[in-house]
Copies of this chain bind each other. A is one copy, B any other.
Amino acid sequence: MSSPLRNGDTPPPRLPSPAVGRHHFHSTVSEKKIRRLNALILLLRLAAFCFSLAAAIFMATNSSRSPGSHSWLHFHPFRLVLASNAIVAVYSFFEMVSSIWEILKGVTLFPEPLQLWFDFSHDQVFAYLLLAAEAAATVEAQGLKGAHTCSPESAFCVQAYISVALGFAGFAFLALAALGSGFRVACYVITGSRFHL
């Protein structure tokens, strides 16, 4: 699963990067920028992970055992929120491990092109999935209010609102991470290396 040799610790001499000839400081300047971009993406993924995990937990615990009470299981959009937030949390955790691996070892977990395309496509698709789920759950929550399901004694609606809000925050960070990973893919497509900045 290790990446090709071009993906090593001291990549610039091996790369067909057209910028090498332009200035001698390419190596150090680029490395600094790469580290900053990688750290930024890692930070965004950490935020997306925290928010989506919290949203999933809030939704999963949103039911009581007393008879006649409501549960997230009875509402399709709330199920979708739980599922998509859980998926995003697991994915973000995996991506964080992969990012830390890349920062520590200097090589990507999968071969470079596969890793870049995997990151970007999943970021983008999961961001769309999460947004659709949260928008659907917002309408459902609004409908509950109209149907008098939200009694003052029951925390069901409040907990559902909090879960949806946390999910929206998770979406925002995932969408920003998608911009970063999209830029890395474009870098790779245009220059043949994610190291060109």
Q: Of B128, B142, B190, which is within 8 A of A186 by CB?
A: B190
Interface size on A, residues (CB 8 A): 28
Set of chain B residues within 8 Å of A128, measured between Cβ atoms: 128, 131, 175
Q: Decide: B135 and A131 in contact? CB cutoff 8 A.
A: yes
The quantity of this chain's copies bound in the complex is: 2
Binds B, one of A16-24, A108-116, A153-161: A16-24
CA distance A186 to B190 in the complex (A): 9
Contacts of A187 in B (CB 8 A): 186, 190
Q: What per-residue 1/0 map shows which CB atoms of A8-19 lie under 8 Å from chain B? A: 000000000011
Q: Provide the residues of chain B in CB contact with A138, threshold 8 Å.
A: 136
Q: Which of A48-107 contact B (CB under 8 A)?
A: 76-77
Nearest 7 pairs of A and B residues by beta carbon: A18-B18, A186-B186, A132-B135, A135-B135, A139-B139, A136-B139, A135-B136
Chain A residues at the B interface, C-beta cutoff of 8 Å: 18-19, 21-22, 76-77, 128, 131-136, 138-140, 142-143, 175, 182-183, 186-187, 189-191, 196-197
